[in-house]
Homo-oligomer: A and B are copies of this chain.
Amino acid sequence: MASAQRATGPDKRRMILDAAVVVFAKKGFHACRVSDIADEANVAYGLVYHYFRSKDEVLDTLFLERWNVLLEVITEIDRQQLPARDKLYAIASFIVDSYRHDPDLMKVIIVEVTRAANSFGRTHLTTIREAYALIAGIVEKAQADGSFRCAVTPGFAALAFYGAIEQVLTGWIFDMLPRGEEEFDEAKAFIVETICGGLDADRASARAV
Q: Mark A151-176, 1 if CB is under 8 A from B, else 0.
A: 11100110110111011101101101
Q: How many copies does the complex hold?
A: 2
Known: A129-B176, A167-B166, A190-B153. Contact between A119 and B28, CB under 8 A?
yes
Nearest Cβ in chain B — how far from A39, in angstroms? Answer: 19
**Interchain CB contact under 8 A, A196 and B191:** no
Stretch from A6-14, A54-62, A73-81, A110-118 that touches the partner: A110-118
**Interchain CB contact under 8 A, B139 and A199:** yes
Q: Which residues of B are found within 8 Å of A117, using beta-carbon distances?
A: 107, 111, 170, 173-174
Candidates B125, B148, B156, B162; contact of A200 at CB < 8 Å: B148
**Interchain CB contact under 8 A, B111 and A116:** yes
Chain A residues engaging chain B, CB cutoff 8 angstroms = 27-31, 84-85, 107, 111, 115-119, 121-122, 125, 129, 132, 139, 142, 146-149, 151-153, 156-157, 159-160, 162-164, 166-168, 170-171, 173-174, 176-177, 186-187, 189-191, 193-201, 203, 205-206, 209
In addition to A85-B200, A151-B197, 15 A-B residue pairs with Cβ atoms within 8 Å of each other are: A27-B118, A30-B118, A111-B116, A111-B117, A117-B174, A148-B199, A149-B201, A151-B193, A156-B168, A156-B187, A160-B191, A160-B195, A162-B167, A195-B198, A197-B198
Closest 9 A-B residue pairs measured CB to CB? A198-B198, A163-B167, A28-B118, A197-B206, A115-B115, A160-B164, A163-B163, A160-B194, A197-B198
